[in-house]
Amino acid sequence: METTKIAVIGSGNIGTDLLIKCLRGYPRLEPVVMVGIDPESDGLARARGLGITTTDKGVEGLIAMDGFDAIEIVLDATSAKAHLANAAALEPYGKRLLDLTPAAIGPYVIPVVNLDQHLSATNLNLVTCGGQATIPIVHAISRVTPVPYAEIVASIASRSAGPGTRANVDEFTETTSRAIEVVGGARRGKAVIILNPAEPPMLMRDTVIAIVEEFKRDEIIASIHRMVDDVARYVPGYRLKQAVQFTPIDPTEPLRTLIDAQPRARWKVSVFLEVEGAAHYLPAYAGNLDIMTSAALEVANRLSIDAEKSEVA
């Protein structure tokens, strides 16, 4: 089996977890370079200890390295602002970019929902941790009945929110809200992120509230359970926290004002999720980071398989 050579940009928590996950469970993918900007970073030191070539000169250092031409996929685990510069620098070289920031240059991709539609894209955006956790559920509901409005709340441990996450809060809400509509299928979407300072740190919790026009209880529940199983295939710690809830909408409820233009909307579906990390590098409570790295490697692996099939054909 031929391998696909990849590079990881970003030597922080997400980049390091990407590297370790890739080495542990993705034999098709061969990480050959980790890129950072801090020569003293723990991520670069760990990468060197694992036999991976490193550079602390950023994306320009990557481009200047021997063997750069053989790299097919670059995973960017930096920040939205940094990805804009990295994508511009790499654009002339024809690399496939997987964007783990909310920069959203390329199409939004949720592996279990719409990856098949974007296998030829050169820059694929993994939305956000909250998006990866909740948009599959919005999609699961919308494939059963129209969803005029969907709202998600992602609550993560404050300790799991590094500098990149904190710098990207505005981009998180904007990108996730838009992806709820474009990928999830809701007519209108809203996203909220909460950094919970509780000690000991809590696992990632996600709440999805979807307004639906038809009370298709059994079909909606079955669709959600199928989707949870599909996501758990590559994120084993992804699960429903409790039973799916259905509530008739009270005409006096503030939420009603959001859907006045959709008079048929009569029911609120509430879904409560929990994401426990695999603890390959990050603590188990950092499910928000784990679901991003797992989704990114799922996409990279699929791109590798697709490329191999194309070569055979």
Residue-range domain boundaries for the chain:
4-126+290-312, 129-283
Output the DSSP codes for 5-46.
EEEEE--SHHHHHHHHHHHHH-TTEEEEEEE-S-TT-HHHHH
Whether 263 shows a pLDDT value over 60: the answer reads no
Which range (149-163, 168-182, 214-228, 252-266) has the least confidence? 252-266
pLDDT tens digits for range 191-216: 999 999 999 999 999 999 999 988 99
Distances from the Cα of 141 to the Cα of 111, 244, 251, 277, angstroms: 17, 11, 22, 25
Q: Give the pLDDT of residue 261.
A: 47
Measure the CA angle with vertex 236, ends 140 and 292; round to 5°: 75
Query: What's the whole-model pTM score?
Result: 0.94
pLDDT tens digits for range 50-74: 999 999 999 999 999 999 999 999 9
Dist. CA 237–CA 132, nearest whole Å: 13
Binning pLDDT at 50, 70 and 90, where does residue 308 land? confident
- Of 33, 98, 104, 129, the catalytic one is 129
Task: Give yes or no on whether 4-126+290-312 and 129-283 have one common fold.
Answer: no
- Strand-pair category, 238-240 with 267-275: antiparallel
Residue 158 marked ligand-binding: no
Question: Tell me, which fold does domain 129-283 have in CATH?
Answer: Dihydrodipicolinate Reductase; domain 2 (3.30.360)
Average pLDDT, the chain: 93
Dist. CA 157–CA 134, nearest whole Å: 17
Residue 294 marked ligand-binding: no
Residue 114 marked ligand-binding: no
Q: For domain 4-126+290-312, which architecture applies? A: 3-Layer(aba) Sandwich (3.40)
Residue 301 marked ligand-binding: no
Is 129 one of the annotated active-site residues of the chain?
A: yes
